[in-house]
Structure 1
Amino acid sequence: MKRPVIIALDFPTEQRALAFLDQFPAEMAVTVKIGMELFYAAGPAIVRAVIARGHDVFLDLKLHDIPNTVEAGMRVIGQLGVRYTTVHAAGGHVMLAAAKRGLVAGAQAQGLPAPTLLAITQLTSTNQQILNVDQQIPGTVAASAVHYAQVAQASGCDGVICSAQEVGAIHAALGPAFVGITPGIRPSWAQANDQQRIMTPAAAAKAGSNGLVVGRPITQAADPVAAYQRILTEWSGQHE
């Protein structure tokens, strides 16, 4: 990835999100994740505003619905010019294939490259008890993540969102070309917050992650630019 550290732009308003980005030098283009909170508050306008500033957008809406609805939603997302977007692997192979069709069709309609489609395996807030008791899925979280990744690859997805604890097993099963983007990244100097399966940037890079999603350790830092660069340095130290 050109910009392996993805900043989770988890703000409640467009004004706060853009004010945060104003702290970065104009020549420092980054990749930012726009999730449900910000997108539901500001809509497609925030996506266009961030892209206009030269940044890449990872639109993380985690679509999960009947295939026809997901295909229609992805057709709209494909027209926005985002670099990455997400869908839940738990929706099954028919829904995942529909998501890919919609995304490609939307991008082609605007003469744009199709965004990278990433399937959510298991959220990093999911622990063993939630998997086995709440979801009624037997086995380990890692085995579930690998299975979902296999379904995603067979359905045309370009990669997955997974914990860094599972990315090595996913690459072993599916090959290094299948992208593994890892949230739940917490530097040793940051709090874990509500994440259950976390890893430091250096450890995630060593485990085989293709990119990191980092939120509060950057967005809530006294100096976000310095925090971003520090995490990028920790990551790059494992890829030299």
Structure 2
Amino acid sequence: MTEIPDCRDRLIFALDVPDTDAARTLVETLGDTVTFYKVGLELAMSPGYFELVDWLKARGKKVFVDVKLFDVPATVAAAVARLDARDVDFITIHGNQGIMEAAGAARKGKAKILAVTALTSLDRGDMTDLGFDCDIDELVLSRARRALEAGCDGIVSSGLELERLRAEAPETLITVTPGIRPVDNDAPPDDQKRVMTPARAIAAGADYLVIGRPIRQAADPAAAATAIQDEIAAAVAERG
């Protein structure tokens, strides 16, 4: 069985801001309402990225390094080892079997390796443009199986594929789901195409939900995060 996360850790806030100063300000604004943070490519291009990771860990936060590593296996393995040494919790990778195996073998600490399946900004037409002549459901399930065989801990998948994943993939699979939009979300339309509400994603089998804009763009980010935490807690209780 996969490790059951603390309910409040199921919300992973996407800290997608231009620089580390803005990131620290937002973390302080959110306070205790968020315990888990995703730090991605935008912040990775800013000075002080690793210092921000260390700062979050020192504040007792969990850290999801979402840089989607994709390179030759030796380079990915070296990057995973460096991140793992910083006590991060999740690391995302792309790639084929060799890349996934190298990433899994390089992890010596507690970091969980997550394979990206199909970005939630892609739909069936986008997959065709990329040369994938298959259903997204089939691709996601295949990627999940191969990731576990390669020694990864879980996958990143939209909520739309979760029910089939939970029915067919091993119970040890960790599922991290982006593209989450609350029912009352009034944020402007964005680039996410395969989306789902927090309650529906939890009911479908998501372990963790990655949510950014609905909190970040809210008039009161802490209140928005609290409302989503309440929705997640209710959905977890109902799922049992």
Question: Shared fold (TM-score greater than 0.5)?
Answer: yes
Please tell me the residue identity of whatever aligns with 2:152. Answer: C
Equivalent residue for 1:124, pick from 107, 120, 125: 120
Task: Report the Cα distance in structure 2 between the residues aligned to 1:40 and 1:103, rounded to whole angstroms.
Answer: 24
Aligned residue in 2 for 1:227: 224
Where in structure 2 are there 5+ consecutive unaligned residues?
none
Larger mean CA deviation between 1-10 and 190-199 belongs to 190-199
Aligned residue in 1 for 2:199: 202
Query: Residues 81-230 of structure 1 correspond to what in structure 2 (within 5 A)?
Result: 81-88=87-94, 91-104=95-108, 107=109, 114-132=110-128, 134-190=129-185, 191=187, 192-230=189-227
* Distance change >3 Å, CA 138–CA 29, structure 1 → 2: closer
> Is 1:119–1:161's contact at 8 Å kept on the other side of the alignment?
yes
> Is 1:71–1:98's contact at 8 Å kept on the other side of the alignment?
yes
Does 1:39 find its partner at 2:44?
Answer: yes
Shift of 1:175: 2.5
Task: Report the Cα distance in structure 2 between the residues aligned to 1:137 and 1:173, rounded to whole angstroms.
Answer: 22
SS in structure 1 of the partner of residue 140 of structure 2: helix
Shift of 1:204: 0.5
RMSD: 1.3
Aligned residue in 1 for 2:13: 7
Please tell me the residue identity of whatever aligns with 1:35. Answer: G
> Is 1:29–1:54's contact at 8 Å kept on the other side of the alignment?
no
Shift of 1:28: 5.1
Equivalent residue for 2:79, pick from 73, 82, 89: 73
Task: Report the Cα distance in structure 2 between the residues aligned to 1:148 and 1:48, rounded to whole angstroms.
Answer: 31
Task: Report the Cα distance in structure 1 between the residues aligned to 2:34 and 2:226, rounded to whole angstroms.
Answer: 12
Q: Deviation digits for residues 54-104 of structure 1, max 9, x if unmatched? A: 11100101001111111111111111111111101xx11111010112222
Q: Deviation digits for residues 23-72 of structure 1, max 9, x if unmatched? A: 133x5561000001112203211101111111110010100111111111
Runs of 4+ with >2 A deviation: none
TM-score, length-scaled by structure 1 = 0.91
Where in structure 1 are there 5+ consecutive unaligned residues?
108-113
Shift of 1:16: 0.5
Please tell me the residue identity of whatever aligns with 2:206. Answer: S
> Is 2:33–2:226's contact at 8 Å kept on the other side of the alignment?
no
Please tell me the residue identity of whatever aligns with 1:209. Answer: A
Task: Report the Cα distance in structure 1 between the residues aligned to 2:166 and 2:28, rounded to whole angstroms.
Answer: 37
Please tell me the residue identity of whatever aligns with 2:207. Answer: N
SS in structure 1 of the partner of residue 91 of structure 2: strand
> Is 1:83–1:116's contact at 8 Å kept on the other side of the alignment?
yes
Task: Report the Cα distance in structure 1 between the residues aligned to 2:18 and 2:235, rounded to whole angstroms.
Answer: 34
SS in structure 2 of the partner of residue 196 of structure 1: coil
Query: Residues 16-27 of structure 1 correspond to what in structure 2 (within 5 A)?
Result: 16-25=22-31
Please tell me the residue identity of whatever aligns with 2:193. Answer: Q
TM-score, length-scaled by structure 2 = 0.91
Q: Deviation digits for residues 166-216 of structure 1, max 9, x if unmatched? A: 112112121232111100000112244110000000111111111100001
> Is 1:23–1:225's contact at 8 Å kept on the other side of the alignment?
yes
